[in-house]
Structure 1
Amino acid sequence: MSTFTFATVPRIIAGPGSISRISELSTLLGPRVLVVSDDGVVKAGLVQPALDGLVEAGSETSIFAGVVADPPEATIHAAVAQANGFGATGVLGIGGGSSLDVAKLVALLARSGEALENIYGVGKVTGERLPLVLVPTTAGTGSEVTPISIVTTGADQKKGVVSPVLLPDAALLDARLTIGLPPAVTAATGIDAMVHAIEAFTSVSPNNNPVSRALAKEALRLLGANIATAVGNGTDLAARQAMLLGAMLAGQAFANSPVAAVHALAYPIGGRYHVPHGLSNSLVLPHVLRFNAMACGDAYTELAPYLFPHLDSADQAGRLSGFIEGLTLMPERLNLPVRLREVGIPRNALPLLAESAMEQTRLLVNNPRTVSLADAERIYEDAW
């Protein structure tokens, strides 16, 4: 038996309408709560139920709504300044992965006073954070249960802060907050969650463990069974809640058995061309699967029936080909772009993307097959 560690959020509140239970967490968050979100989520009214619950419980609130996709360092610094000026005693993040990532760092930096540039990487955090609660409004990133925050540094480079200190005190999963999510975003974030499960299951991290692998399988079962319904009928609460749960389980899986080449190749696409993270993953996923198949084909065949139940009766070769083919066809069936050129990436940019991907050593080290610079460029060519 291998030795491993598994860490996750100590409290999870889940179910449609569960945002009404935010008052149960008011004592944890304290009397002055900074709410971190983005302008679209605030204007859609998704933050208001939480604000009402906190005020009813006697808390003061301040809203930072300046989060943008692929948040730059300046956004983190502005949110921390607001937290300090307000005298925040706790942080509540509501929104997509970017908002939750910003909330994590605000909770940390407002309490510890550490410099952001000193904590990039794994295990660099030395201080403590403020109490933290995270509420996702998309079913994709799993950020509400991961010890990771991604920041855009400089013009287009993405860096991660990875520390167990970033795991929140509680996560709240309310499908009602995802009802207004457009079909394309639902599809891309859902595939993002599938990538988390697949890469966690096949990761060669020394901490790949049976708990993460079990969670990855259940995540794929939930996501595969519900993504088409959630995309086609966004008001289906059961499908929406299942997608949230699947994304969270995938998040728990990769929080402990880290992701690999799909993410490494997706980051430059998002950083340089501002393609949403889930879609960036979706664009390179089939091509990384084909590249990795010779190294982890058995793992893909094991996962195949969870995502595509009709493959349960297939032989090993049929499962492997069906798994890769199914994930190749899924984005098109969900009306997502399937080629890099469809999202405005010119062919002459591929060598630079490959160079940028090779800088993601934190992720590439977990891939089941070693990726060279030439391999990365070839994968981008296949995706173009």
Structure 2
Amino acid sequence: MTAFAFSTVPSILSEPGLTHRLGAIIAERFPQVRRPFIVSDAGFLRTGLLALPTLSLEQESMRSAIFSAVVADPPEAVVLDAVDAARRHEADLILGFGGGSSMDVAKLVAVLAGSRQPIGEIYGIGKVSAQRLPLVQVPTTAGTGSEVTNIAIVTTGATTKSGIVAPQLYADLAILDAALTLGLPPTVTAATGIDAMVHAIEAYTSRHKKNPLSDALAREALSLLSRNLLRACEQGSDIGARQAMLLGACLAGQAFSNAPVAAVHALAYPIGGIFHVPHGLSNSLVLPHMLRFNLPQASRLYAELAGIVVPHASGSEEARAEALIVATQQMAKMTGIETSLHQVGITEADLERLADEAMLQTRLLGNNPREVTRADARAIYAAAL
């Protein structure tokens, strides 16, 4: 058996309504904490769903502060504003409430608020030198898996993003509470859910770090996600389906944190960066076309995953792999999200720039089961038009 390493957060709690007891949980696990600092976004703050968690913190004699200026694809300036706010609050624990953007910012606040290491020094892999503040992550969408990953993505230019990867970015605790996701619109539920499915699929086929633990997590994640996605979209108040989606996204996050994602994400990033398409939808638009491109090298693995997503599929390895691809397309159509690039404002005139930007994602492209050239990238975008 090939040697491998596997890391994840030390503790995960999964229960609907659990954040209503957030104060008691924090008090038990972090008895010295008195000044928690919440990182979120304005949209989630407006839902009112932070009221009970913050009240529970007050009931444990904690004085919390909320930073709600996180935006999608957060720029470096937002991260630094959050760090400054946490320092002013004299925070002794960071709580991330939100989707991937809020949780990514929470990771960086935890690392930087108690340190003098400048943010410019930590881009890349393993560049964080300081210890961090205690960190608790609470996802409010079932998609990114950021609550259990050691990666944060920051927008560092007009259309460019940079990643920070370090063991310090793993949280101390992740809390999965589907009650926080009940108000998500069907289109957001669909896009984030398919994003999580991409994480599972790409982890399962990752070229360099695929391993038995990530494989097991990816398979279980794909089972939970594929069985509950349509239900969560069509019956948004179904707490069981919502909790299954949250757990599936979390398991997929653990999988890809150890067996990294690949070319679906590499081609999705420019779509989001240039055209401001949400990350999950960008992945969904590229997914079936990249899977079809990868077939010559990944058909066996795709056929194995087809046994989870479309268990009735039969025939040759290639036929079952094709059934997986078709199933991903059908799921997107049935949820009502956009399924082609032109639906999000992209035309053939944009494909050259997209291909150029995609080829800059060398960290991700190197994980793909099949090498992707610039001509390949352009052809995949063309197929997705």
Q: Give the match for residue 148 of structure 2.
A: 145
Q: Give the match for residue 11 of structure 1.
A: 11
Q: Give the match for residue 21 of structure 2.
A: 21
For residue 70 of structure 2, give the secondary structure of its aligned residue in structure 1: coil
1:245 aligns with 2:247: yes
2:207 to 185, 204, 209: 204
Q: How far off its partner does 1:314 sit?
A: 4.2
Preserved CA contact (<8 Å) 2:230 2:331 = no
Q: Give the match for residue 274 of structure 2.
A: 272
Paired with 2:319 and 2:363, the residues of 1 have a C-alpha distance of 33
For residue 65 of structure 2, give the secondary structure of its aligned residue in structure 1: strand
For residue 127 of structure 1, give the secondary structure of its aligned residue in structure 2: coil
Q: Which structure 2 residue ranges, 5 or more long, are not aligned?
A: none
Letter in 2 for 1:31: R
Moved more, 94-103 or 44-53: 44-53
Map 1:33-44; keep pairs closer than 5 Å.
Answer: 33-44=36-47
Q: Give the match for residue 338 of structure 2.
A: 337
**1:245-274 deviation per Cα after TM superposition (whole angstroms, max 9, x unaligned):** 000000000000000000011111111111
Letter in 2 for 1:271: G
1:48 aligns with 2:51: yes
For residue 37 of structure 2, give the secondary structure of its aligned residue in structure 1: strand
Q: Give the match for residue 346 of structure 1.
A: 347
Paired with 1:309 and 1:58, the residues of 2 have a C-alpha distance of 52
1:114 aligns with 2:117: yes
Q: How far off its partner does 1:2 sit?
A: 1.2
Paired with 2:59 and 2:197, the residues of 1 have a C-alpha distance of 38
Q: Give the match for residue 230 of structure 1.
A: 232
Letter in 2 for 1:18: L
Q: How far off its partner does 1:49 sit?
A: 1.9
After TM superposition, the runs of 4+ consecutive aligned structure 1 residues lying more than 6 A away are none
Q: Give the match for residue 301 of structure 1.
A: 303
Paired with 1:122 and 1:363, the residues of 2 have a C-alpha distance of 13
For residue 49 of structure 2, give the secondary structure of its aligned residue in structure 1: coil
1:127 aligns with 2:130: yes
Moved more, 342-351 or 35-44: 342-351
Paired with 1:186 and 1:142, the residues of 2 have a C-alpha distance of 14
Superposition RMSD in Å: 1.1
1:190 aligns with 2:193: yes
**1:156-190 deviation per Cα after TM superposition (whole angstroms, max 9, x unaligned):** 10111011110000000001100000000000000
Q: Which structure 1 residue ranges, 5 or more long, are not aligned?
A: none
Q: How far off its partner does 1:327 sit?
A: 1.1
1:102 to 105, 110, 121: 105
Q: How far off its partner does 1:32 sit?
A: 0.7
Preserved CA contact (<8 Å) 1:141 1:192 = yes
For residue 45 of structure 1, give the secondary structure of its aligned residue in structure 2: coil
Preserved CA contact (<8 Å) 1:114 1:127 = yes
Preserved CA contact (<8 Å) 1:100 1:134 = yes
Paired with 1:22 and 1:64, the residues of 2 have a C-alpha distance of 18
Q: Give the match for residue 213 of structure 1.
A: 215
TM-score (norm 2): 0.97
Q: Percent identity?
A: 55
Q: Give the match for residue 92 of structure 1.
A: 95
1:81 to 76, 84, 87: 84
Paired with 1:43 and 1:130, the residues of 2 have a C-alpha distance of 27
Preserved CA contact (<8 Å) 1:16 1:175 = yes
Letter in 2 for 1:331: A
Q: How far off its partner does 1:318 sit?
A: 2.5
Paired with 1:227 and 1:243, the residues of 2 have a C-alpha distance of 7
Paired with 2:36 and 2:339, the residues of 1 have a C-alpha distance of 41
For residue 237 of structure 2, give the secondary structure of its aligned residue in structure 1: coil
Moved more, 45-54 or 23-32: 23-32
Paired with 1:363 and 1:109, the residues of 2 have a C-alpha distance of 26
Paired with 2:370 and 2:116, the residues of 1 have a C-alpha distance of 39
Paired with 2:211 and 2:39, the residues of 1 have a C-alpha distance of 33
Q: How far off its partner does 1:95 sit?
A: 0.7
Paired with 1:51 and 1:177, the residues of 2 have a C-alpha distance of 14
Paired with 1:180 and 1:61, the residues of 2 have a C-alpha distance of 24
For residue 106 of structure 1, give the secondary structure of its aligned residue in structure 2: helix
Q: How far off its partner does 1:319 sit?
A: 1.0
For residue 79 of structure 1, give the secondary structure of its aligned residue in structure 2: helix
